[in-house]
Chains A and B, each alone.
Chain A
Amino acid sequence: MSKNKSEYLINRHDNQYEVVIGLEVHAQVTSESKLFSTSATKFGAEPNTQVSLVDAAFPGMLPVINEYCVKQAIKTGIGLKAKINKRSVFDRKNYFYADLPQGYQISQFKDPIVGEGKVILDMPDGQKEVGIERLHLEQDAGKSIHDLDPKNTFVDLNRSGVALMEIVSKPDLRSPDEVNAYIKKLRSIMRYLGTCDGNMQEGSLRADVNVSVRKKGSKEFGTRCEIKNVNSIKFMQMAIEYEANRQVDLIEDGQTIDQETRLFDTKKNETRSMRSKEDAHDYRYFPDPDLLPLEVSDDFIENLKSEIPELPDEKKKRFIEKFKLSPYEANILVSDIETSNYFENVIKKSDVKLATNWIIGELFAALNEKNLEISDSPISAGNLSKLINLIKDGTISGKIAKTVFEQMMKGDKDPKKIVEEKGLKQESDPKALEALIDKVIDDNRDKATEYKSGKVKLFGFFVGQVMKVSGGKANPQLVNEILKKKL
């Protein structure tokens, strides 16, 4: 589609268009209770079982801020290297809907809790910085269920009042691949921090995607369209691709783009107009008089800073410097906190290089095949470490190790036991090997003569024969040494 490998451009006739993307990510705050009430927030509970009088907006009920959610938002801000605002204000965003019991959403409009920050993306052709405009706290609405009854809509208020962080990026993203990397990085940072589980299936992470296009080289932004509430990275990418092409077609056709809110239809793979700018809601934002401005002290912020764990960027740097990993390897290993913890547990007692290869290679492939997360891996870090040590000390060959690994994937078994039970131990007794080798040479006299007369390529044939005869258990290094002597 584009000339430069790393550049995502849309070509039409002689024109090249650049795509400009900004994201508003809604991340559910990891918290036992809601933003302004003590109701539980567990996913998948029976409808309307996690609803307090406050969540259902009964007369005279008042919101009380959940300090834990405030801490989570500030921690996320620190993780995004952002400015923490010591004073922020909760506003009411007024609109009517059946699943919005108060008739307004408590959000932050003019004075968010977190200001400008940044996220670093590792793209194939280098690093890219994406600006964060702001992060603010807000309540989630309930859920309207339209398909249970032909005439009525049912409302589940379990989500009503759950704390969300809205993280708004600058319009710095330029391709579906960058969006993919951005969401993954954001998710990774929040999972490291324990502030959002990033579970997109459960709706813990969703995004509004702002898309515009402009001719390559242009400094002006085009008119943007906002695609609402997309809940998977794949759909975001598909929506962007469709929307960008739609806009380019309009421009090429001499038409203008209307600023509007659109919906992505995942079945038809297209975006559809939801409402135009003229029809946009007037939310009548104003400071919520039930809540005082939120003020946090320097000490409060400093205390939270001291609780911040090592984040992916720093961890990657350490892995490269301390363990001599390649940037590629380090990137993969730090992308998820569970993976990096697993890796660090394996290398506590075993070789780094082998561990890296086995995790990125065999383990990831096997987990992928079974559709498992690393946290559900049948092979514990301790047992993988043992397997690597068996290879390292020559007890088994790399090839045998793969057989053992397959056994281990069927249940977390100590690799030493598997080796013993199946008699897979490597044959490293020189005398036993000599006898084996003597027999092989004896059986292949003609080839031995050819080898001696200069056909050195036949050496591999002899190695293969010895391994075959030993059932793969012969120590290859010793076989090499002895063969050289004997031939």
Chain B
Amino acid sequence: MSDITKQSLSELVENIKSKKISSSEVTKAFVERSEKSKELNAYITEDYANALNKAKKFDEKPNLDLKLPGIPMAVKDLFCTRDLRTTAGSKILNNFVPTYESTVTQNIWNEGAILMGKLNCDEFAMGSSNETSFFGNVQNPIDKNLVPGGSSGGSSCAVAAQLTPITIGTDTGGSIRQPASFTGTVGLKPTYGSCSRYGIVAFASSLDQAGPMAQNVKDCALLQEIISTYDEKDSTSIDFKRNEYSKELTKDIKGKKIGIPKEYRVDGMPKEIEDLWKKGIEYAKDCGAEIIDISLPHTNYALPTYYIVAPAEASSNLARYDGVKYGFRAEGENLIDMYEKTRSEGFGAEVQRRIMIGTYVLSSGYYDAYYLKAQKVRKLIKNDFDDAYKKVDAILTPSTPSSAFKIGEKTNDPVSMYLNDIFTVPVNLAGLPGISIPAGHDAKGYPLGLQIIGKAFDEQNILNIAYAMEEKINFKNNINDWWIK
């Protein structure tokens, strides 16, 4: 079967279950394609030999009752994986091999999936283009020298280029949805507290959330029902009734009320994005949904709020990388000197910039003006959504204010880079679920995504809306395998 890597996750699962193909055949196909795709730089650490061994073992004694029977998968290198190097895209963890497994990845292996390797990402997930990775930038399979988005850029690249049938990313301010949008794939950021943060290298604890990335909505739903579990090891994990999202998936969204927030019509938004949004509204109507204009008045303050809260938490979360216990250490004259050299050499420029911003906004004398104020605004942003959800079931917006940009285009302009998160960040601040689905192309033929935002714990509803719209949109990715010689 030469077209194994073109199959969706659901097809692969079905074919393995019906014994049409073996796990070894599937794993071999994705490993071979991954090996031919080194130019994309999607992987930080490859574990192909182990993956092939595991596939062989699976085939010897296959358990076909599992949800991911012998399915190979690469994951973002922010998830700690037992005995396999976990770097978070940083030099400071270049040599770090965990002795433990994150809850999310453990859930995946428990369902029979096989780890192929660790995918590239922005350093400590801080970036929107995968250019801050210590391990180099990632190519967007859509076009050479195009960023795949970030921070889950290796993940979006690997799914779009079919190096892995499915993957997981993490999303602190848009790090799943924006790269999905840039690569014509589907990415879900679940409700905060849905997926355990245990064993995920922390960026901003109150915003971080793991989520699935896939080629279609159904695959995304299946992975979400696997990774979302209540976990006592994460105090912010929430014990709520979780659906079997893939089984309860339906295209019947007749009568669903979908809100269109006027504040998302930002100044300078390209006409292409405006047009895409209009098209999205038409698709939703075609599916039987009712469109309602709503207001989220504090939207303008979301980005500045995010760029106070996230760096503040990051500055504290990253204090543990000090060269004392594990990871990279630069020798120094004394303890302070060792700290300074280790952290100057171990962290890249963007991470250092955010540590400095975070340290500043938490300093005594500035705390009230920045951090405390930002927390208050965050509450107002959440209240906006609460008010809106009295009238609507979900909200439809563009995923990003533009399509993918060129590598190097924004590296010297952090603010313009930050502006990329304008539509995704409010969702993290409010702790809500959001999904990005591919919905069209811009003039250059680059994919564009639409975002559907749901009520807390209402993943099923936005998955259903996405599922229904997906059919109407009938999106096709134009990937010509330009990197394969």
Contacts and interface: CB of A to CB of B under 8 A. Distances in A.
Given A59-B80, A60-B202, A284-B364, A289 B313 contact: yes
Contacts of B100: 53, 58
B interface, over-half SS: loop
Interface string A266-292: 000000000000000010111011111
Contacts of B86: 59
B198 A62 contact: yes
Given A59-B80, A59-B96, A103-B316, A64 B363 contact: no
Contact of B320 (A64, A102, A155, A292): A102
Interface stretch (B178-186, B231-239, B405-413): B231-239
Interface stretch (A91-99, A251-259, A358-366): A91-99
B396 interface: no
B362 A103 contact: no
B371 interface: yes
Given A59-B201, A60-B198, A282 B364 contact: yes
B195 to A, nearest CB: 13
Interface residues of A, number: 31
A203 B214 CA distance: 55
Given A57-B325, A102-B319, A104-B316, A62 B233 contact: yes
Nearest to A99: B324
A65 interface: yes
B289 interface: no
A286 B324 contact: no
A58 B98 contact: yes
A65 B236 CA distance: 12
A247 B96 CA distance: 52
Interface residues of B, number: 42
A62 B339 CA distance: 23
Nearest to B318: A103
A47 to B, nearest CB: 14
B477 interface: no
Contacts of B197: 60, 62
Nearest to B88: A59
Given A94-B319, A289-B206, A58 B326 contact: yes
Interface string B184-210: 000000000000011111101110000
23 contacts: A56-B325, A59-B86, A59-B88, A59-B202, A60-B98, A60-B199, A60-B200, A62-B198, A63-B235, A64-B234, A94-B319, A94-B362, A96-B319, A96-B322, A282-B363, A285-B362, A285-B367, A286-B312, A286-B316, A286-B367, A289-B204, A289-B236, A292-B235
Interface of A: 53, 56-65, 92, 94, 96-98, 101-104, 153, 155, 282, 284-286, 288-292
Closest 9 CB pairs of A and B: A103-B319, A289-B205, A284-B362, A289-B206, A57-B320, A60-B199, A59-B201, A60-B80, A290-B205
Given A60-B197, A62-B234, A286-B316, 11 more contacts: A53-B100, A59-B86, A60-B202, A97-B335, A104-B319, A153-B335, A286-B312, A286-B371, A288-B205, A290-B205, A290-B235
